[in-house]
Structure 1
Amino acid sequence: MPGDSAPINLTNHFLIAMPALEDGLFTKSVVYVCEHSAQGALGLVINKPADLSLGELFDKVELPLGRTDLKDAPVFHGGPLQLDRGFVLHPSQSASDGDTAEQVYASGMLIPEAGLEMTTSRDVLEALSNGAGPRKLLLTLGYSSWGEGQLESELSANAWLTVAADKAIIFDSPVERRWNDALALLGLQSWMISSEAGHA
């Protein structure tokens, strides 16, 4: 019976846009789901670079960027909400004291199953300006969000494929390959899910 199935939890999964999903930012997008519960979902698009580098972003916020390795890294369009706000996805730097994990930065979200954090406070930028901060990161302006039941209904309409996330795709895959690399986690190639596929 409908409603009897256990709720799905896509935290630490990729949403891979199906070819039929032609919705500006979400066309051929890969979204990393930071949080998914009965109340809804929050994620960051990881393969849509903005026309802005980290070096340029730091100039705009009037901070020096003390990490030359990140100067030319792209800033991404994370989604259509809060476009003026930065979201930094990075491997967890929580100070672990026995059983309790304490976040290093003032504001953010731990994603324990992934060993990742999503930080929204300025102190992560200040750490980078001092030459410190996370070794790997993905910085987006804006985020994506789904209300209660919204993502589930998009999934049942075949707008997205889902797969457990792979950190290497977030931080290491060339941007233009991330959609194909995420599909490959499912053993798929883009031609296999073409929106023009014939039906026998």
Structure 2
Amino acid sequence: MSSSDIHGSQSGGIPFAHAGETNLTGKILIAMPGMADPRFERSVVLICAHTDEGAMGLVLNRPLPEIDFGDLLEQLGIDSDGSARPIEVRFGGPVEPGRGFVLHNVPEHGNDPEGRLRIGRTLAMTTTRDILEELANGHGPASAVLALGYAGWGPGQLEDEMLQNGWLTGDGAEELIFSTAHSDKWQTALRAQGIDPSLLSAAAGHA
């Protein structure tokens, strides 16, 4: 991971935009038994941006325990005064796995600086080094996780996958990100939509 992986540019083919009437930004995607891509089996994905040009999201339930946040800071040349809180590193998706995205809480009201994309009322994604420098020294947002890589969809691709019953959409992203155990995220997300995961799994087994 190089020092250019987390930066202020909102480019690289990621469709950053404000939410529209048919926009899924801020929603979660819950992988269904019809999911054809094994990389996303039983995954829960936060949609961070969704436009006519495509969609970008971060997987929420794939931890990377072998990657240490402190080691990443050292690789990026970011000094720490030793007061850094443990920040969890997760697999965000298969696209650009060397690029980092920090998901974190934000005040409901206030301006968003360059490099920060507000996803919900109190949830944002930041791509600049500044936030890592703050976290390295015990400052910054109270809740934060670092995702490496992202999931990307071209124009109409996500909509097609949803029509093929690959994904179910839902709400409740913040609790899933910061509070729910990884092993429980998929089941918790389904239950929040009124679906019994055991019945869904049984139905898939008899498909």
Matches within 5 A, 1:123-138: 123-138=130-145
**1:60 match:** 75
Is residue 157 of structure 1 aligned with residue 171 of structure 2?
Answer: no
The residue type equivalent to 2:37 in the other structure is D
Alpha carbons of 1:188 and 1:140: their partners in 2 closer, same or farther (altered >3 Å)?
same
Further displaced range: 136-145 or 186-195:
186-195
Matches within 5 A, 1:1-200: 8-21=22-35, 23-50=37-64, 51-65=66-80, 66-70=82-86, 73-92=87-106, 96=110, 101-103=111-113, 106-111=114-119, 113-194=120-201, 195-197=204-206
After TM superposition, give the deviation of residue 95 of structure 1 in Å.
7.6
CA contact (8 A) 1:43 1:143 kept: yes
Further displaced range: 129-138 or 53-62:
53-62
**Unmatched 5+ stretches in structure 2:** 1-19
CA contact (8 A) 1:94 1:102 kept: no
**1:3 match:** none
Using the size of structure 1 for normalisation, the TM-score is 0.82
**Unmatched 5+ stretches in structure 1:** 1-5
Aligned length: 184
CA contact (8 A) 1:136 1:171 kept: yes
Counterpart of 1:69 in 2: which secondary structure?
Answer: coil
Counterpart of 1:102 in 2: which secondary structure?
Answer: coil
- Return the alpha-carbon distance in structure 1 between the equivalents of residues 169 and 36 of structure 2: 17
CA contact (8 A) 1:95 1:102 kept: no
The residue type equivalent to 2:191 in the other structure is A
Stretches of 4+ aligned residues off by more than 4 angstroms: 64-68
CA RMSD, 1 decimal = 2.2
- Return the alpha-carbon distance in structure 2 between the equivalents of residues 7 and 151 of structure 1: 16
